[in-house]
Structure 1
Amino acid sequence: MTNMNRSPFTDKIEQEEPPRKFSMPHFTSFKGDEDPKRHLKHYRSTMVLYRNNDTLICKIFATTLQGELQDWFYTLPPLFIRSFDELFLVFTKEYSTYCSIKKKSDHLFNVKKDPKESLRDYVKRFKPKKVKIVGYDDSIASATSQKGFPAKYPLFGELIMKEDLTLANCFALAEKHALWDEAR
């Protein structure tokens, strides 16, 4: 069993002090229930001013881990982590099951408006699905969002009459129709 009082960082990392004017940025804690790569992107963009201070980046990253992740971190062997690159690899390997799975554009054809669902809720549900598409193509996304509406819906007729409709324009029309529906 690993000593919980002993850090997995090397002594060099542990003993280095932060720069004098260092002010701790605000981070979203990582709880292990989301994409670790997204957390790392957020962390790196927040720490961009300190990117040349590897030891500081290591030490601060450990503070972004919460709950079971903090426990996991202290199960790593003492003196195990010598750089942020090593910490990055160990962390992503451990939490790779939470990585977002990218999908192809045709996946969007499965997103259809439920008859009981409001237009606004459909658009809210569609947007996060679009983000997971590899090689996102606006014309395909626009076409798939249109296919999601039932043909009898007034918005459907307006959408198919427009040429070169972008997804943003499609969502704007949906929002306009949602306001009309709510006003009735």
Structure 2
Amino acid sequence: MTIMSRSPFTDEIEQAKPPRKFSMPHFTYFKGDRDPDRHLKHYRNTMVLYQKKDALMCKIFNTTLQGEAQDWFHTLPPRSIRSFDDLSLVFTKEYSSYCSIKTKSDHLFNVKKNPKESLRDYVKRFKAEKANIVGCNESLTSAAFQKGLQANHPLFREMIMKEDLTLADSFALAEKHALWDEAR
């Protein structure tokens, strides 16, 4: 009597052997409580030398799961995963509620300097918001930084007098103004 495999992997994946000198890399474990895209990116970056070995990518991925995520993996139907792309798709779909919302550069136009906020704190908060945006457009970011200042702020007035200010130039000017403010 043959016992049917409970593995979610096809027989081809299940029977694949790791390369002879394969050494298990160190992974950050996924417990089901954060962005699955980030976990997949970390996994692919760590397994970059083995990305052409689809079966290995599948089998090792399971070892990066813990807790509820490991439990979820064992609920996948037997023989339902034929490739790492299949596994990535069901994984991302299952944990999509934890995906980070991608913010665009124009979001920075919502960041305004509060009247009672120091210039240094505004710059710090603006930079933190900018850091959350992948592929941030520099000229748009520079315009948003300036727009976040009140029109009567000395930095705003200085910035509108200069042409082709880079973002780095804008931050350098802000630093200079912050030092002036602190010296008063």
Normalised to the residue count of structure 2, the TM-score between the two structures is 0.76
Out of 121, 124, 130, the position equivalent to 2:124 is 121
Aligned partner of 1:20 in structure 2 is 20
* Residues 108, 130 of structure 2: 8 Å contact kept: no
Ranges in structure 2 where 5+ consecutive residues have no aligned partner: none
Q: Are the structure 2 counterparts of residues 71 and 49 from structure 1 closer, same or farther at C-alpha, using a change threshold of 3 Å?
A: same
Q: Please give the residue correspondences for 1:89-128 in structure 2 after superposition, counting only pairs within 5 Å.
A: 89-114=89-114, 115-116=116-117, 118-128=121-131
* Cα distance between partner residues in 2 of 1:24 and 1:182: 53
SS at match of 1:130: coil
Cα pair distance change 1:11/1:88, threshold 3 Å: same
Query: Contact 2:146 / 2:159 at 8 angstroms: preserved in 1?
Result: yes
Tell me the residue number matched to 1:148.
148
Unaligned segments of structure 1, at least 5 residues: none
Code of the aligned partner of 1:64? T
Q: Deviations over 1:17-67 (max 9, x none)?
A: 321211222333333343322322232222121111111111121222233
More off after superposition, 168-177 vs 106-115: 168-177
Structure with the greater alpha carbon radius of gyration:
2
Partner of 1:71 in structure 2? 71
User: Is the Cα contact below 8 Å between 2:102 and 2:133 reproduced in 1?
Assistant: no
Partner of 1:130: 133
Q: What percent of counterpart residues are identical?
A: 70
- Report SS of the residue matched to 1:142: helix
Instruction: Point out the more displaced range, 79-88 or 16-25.
Output: 16-25
How many residue pairs are counted as aligned between the two chains? 177
- Once residues 183 and 56 of structure 2 are traced to their aligned partners in structure 1, the CA distance between those partners, rounded to angstroms, is 55
Specify the alignment match of 2:44 in structure 1. 44
Q: TM-score, normalised by structure 1?
A: 0.76
* 1:85 counterpart residue number: 85
Give the Å deviation of 1:121: 3.0
- Which residue identity does 2:75 align to in structure 1? T
CA deviation vs aligned residue, 1:135-169 (integer Å, no higher than 9, x gap): x4321111112222344544434433332122333
TM superposition shift of 1:83: 1.3
Which residue of the partner structure matches residue 166 of structure 2? 166
Q: CA RMSD in A?
A: 3.0
- Does the 8 Å CA contact 1:8/1:74 hold for their aligned counterparts? yes
